Each structure stands twice: as structure tokens, then as C-alpha cells.
Amino acid sequence: GESVGLHLPTLSVQEGDNSIINCAYSNSASDYFIWYKQESGKGPQFIIDIRSNMDKRQGQRVTVLLNKTVKHLSLQIAATQPGDSAVYFCAEILRGYSTLTFGKGTMLLVSP
């Protein structure tokens, strides 16, 4: 989703639920995507990546889905835990480039 001013989109879930965080991109030349997790006052932490020639990739408790038709990316977290509470950013790299462009971020709040 889009953020307005200083407001971060927030997803609130209960511990044990599955979480889905969404990200939209606009550039057809986006070739590579990464999801990062950022806890308060810390640097982003790599979670999972996916190339544009794939539509799904799984990690430990996380799955990234890529729909190039609608330019949409999602991060699914299974059995969400309080430690998953953080801001999640999707980031993209355009074909032929090496710099990351970050999305606006989504705050995930997990309550016990």
C-alpha cells in the first residue's frame, strides 16, 4: 500500500496467524526483488530474494510470490511470531543496474 506523509501501512496479526505483506512496483524493467526486515533502530536484514524469471520462492517460514502481469510482489510469513514484528520493505533492482530502490514499507505488529 501507499503511505501518506509519515504514516506507515500497518498489518496487525495474532501470534500463530499467517501474514501477507504486499508490494506493488511499476517498472517492467525490474529484474530482481528482495524483501528486508527492519527492526526499530536497526539496519535492514535480508529475508529472501526472487528473480523476475521466477514466480515463487520459499525460505524458512517465508514465501515470496511474484506476479509480473500485475507487477505485484508479496511476502508470506507462516505462523507469525512476536519476533517478526518489524517494518518490512520490498526492494527492486532494474535490469542492468546494481542499485536497490526501496518501497515505502509495511509495519507488521504481532500480538501474543
Q: How far apart are alpha carbons 67 and 11 in whole angstroms?
A: 21
User: Which residues, in sequence order, are CB contacts of 97 under 8 Å at separation 6+?
Assistant: none
Contact status: 94 vs another protein (CB under 8 A): no
Q: Give yes or no for residue 26 binding another protein (CB under 8 A).
A: no
User: 37, 44 in Cβ contact below 8 A?
Assistant: yes
Encoded one letter per residue, x for contact with another protein by CB under 8 A and - for no contact, window 29-48 reads ---x-x-x----xxxxxx--
Residue 100 is a binding residue for another protein (CB under 8 A): yes
Site for another protein in 59-78 (CB under 8 A): none
Residue from the set 64, 88, 89, 110 that interacts with another protein by CB under 8 A: 89
Instruction: Please identify, using beta-carbon distances, which residue of 15 and 104 lies nearer to another protein.
Output: 104
DSSP assignment, residue 15? T
How far is 110 from 79, CA to CA, in rounded Å?
11
Interaction between residue 56 and another protein (CB under 8 A): no
For the bound state, the minimum distance from the C-beta of residue 79 to another protein, rounded and expressed in Å, comes to 25
Q: Where does this chain bind another protein (CB under 8 A)?
A: 3, 6-8, 32, 34, 36, 41-46, 49, 89, 93, 98-105
